[in-house]
Amino acid sequence: MEKTPNKLLIVLAFFSIYVIWGSTYLLNKIAVSELAPFMLAAIRFITAGVLIFILCKFLGIKISITKTQLKNTIIAGFLFLTFGNGIVVWALRFVDSGFAALEISAQPLIVLFLLRVIDGKKIKTMSLIGVGLGIIGMYLLVSQKQIISDSDSIIGMGMIFICLVSWAYGSIFVSKADLPANYFVNTGYQMISGGIMLMLGSFAFGESWSLPTTWSGEVQISMILLILFGSIVAFTSFNYLLKAVSPEKVATSTYVNPIIAMSLGWYFLNEQITMQSSIAAIVLLTGVYFINTKKKLILLSRFKGRLRPKKVEIE
């Protein structure tokens, strides 16, 4: 008999991935302006993983897992953190944090396509409308002059899209994989494995490492917030939701993330929010809504039902 998910925990977990993750774009943008991207991400995730295991020890939670679970956490750590997050941090050197968040908001579209390819899941009519709107929104976003006129921005946006595919596939993989039952343990292993792979990547690309004592105050604060909230709280919430609800519902965090990211980037970093960006956001997020909503489908079916002629029985 499966355990019924705790509704309060689900609400708190959604708040974490909606609001906290929306702010991580700003924090990563601040940190990557001073630190090497893979070093930054490696330190963040390894530190978070170690802190999680210390917390497990303090709470008496066993961290022993099976070989299969270890393999699956390593795969998830690569898809989500090493590639899915590490490359995004790298791309933030060339792309505004708000642009990055808005592009990543297309994740439900990718999840939908992958579910169709992997599971053969039928794409409903309303979802197809959402996909069409999503494609238009993506075009409006990436066709702006400040992006197409800068080769670095084009490369950055392209790499973020590849990360988007990695994250979407990881969401589907984790929802089915044999992983540690405890969400802290699950997150801890993903953080450690993903962080170690990022560290190896940092060394391979010849990045220079520095001690936290040499960082500016803004970067130090950003890293603390990224480790405690962006990694431990939000990512644990994310892993919990992938088992408690469907991947499509988890992907709805992309409704809120870009709005928070664009607002914070505008307020703290003076990032420009163009009219075309605003229109792209409205179109893209409307498409995401159509993909995930069920109310529209129910209302549409009821409307169609009223249009059908009623059968008249002749006695």
Query: Exposed, middle or buried, 72 (CB in 10 Å: 0-12/13-18/19+)?
Result: buried
Supply the pLDDT for residue 300: 39
Residue 309 lies inside a defined structural domain of this protein: no
One-letter amino acid at 306 equals: R
* The amino acid at 134: G
pLDDT in tens, 245-255: 877 678 778 77
- Domain assignment present for 238: yes
| pLDDT of the residue at 3 | 62
Contact 186, 73 (CB under 8 A): yes
Q: Whose CA is closest to 254, among 160, 175, 174?
A: 160
Q: Is residue 313 part of a domain?
A: no
Question: Alpha-carbon torsion 89, 172, 277, 143, what sign?
Answer: positive
Residue 310 lies in a domain: no
The answer to whether residue 184 is domain-embedded is: yes
- Alpha carbon distance 306, 77 (integer Å): 50
Per-residue pLDDT, 307: 43
Split into its structural domains, the chain has a count of 1
Q: Are the beta carbons of 28 and 234 closer than 8 angstroms?
A: no
Nearest to 103 by CA among 239, 262, 266, 230: 262
CA separation for the pair 237, 41 (Å, rounded): 19
With respect to residue 22, please indicate whether it lies within any of the assigned structural domains: yes
pLDDT in the model for residue 294:
61
Residue 312 lies in a domain: no
* Segments of the chain with pLDDT less than 50: 1, 296-315
Structural domain contains residue 306: no
Tokens of 95: 């792309």
pTM (two decimals): 0.82
Residue range of the domain that includes 286: 7-300
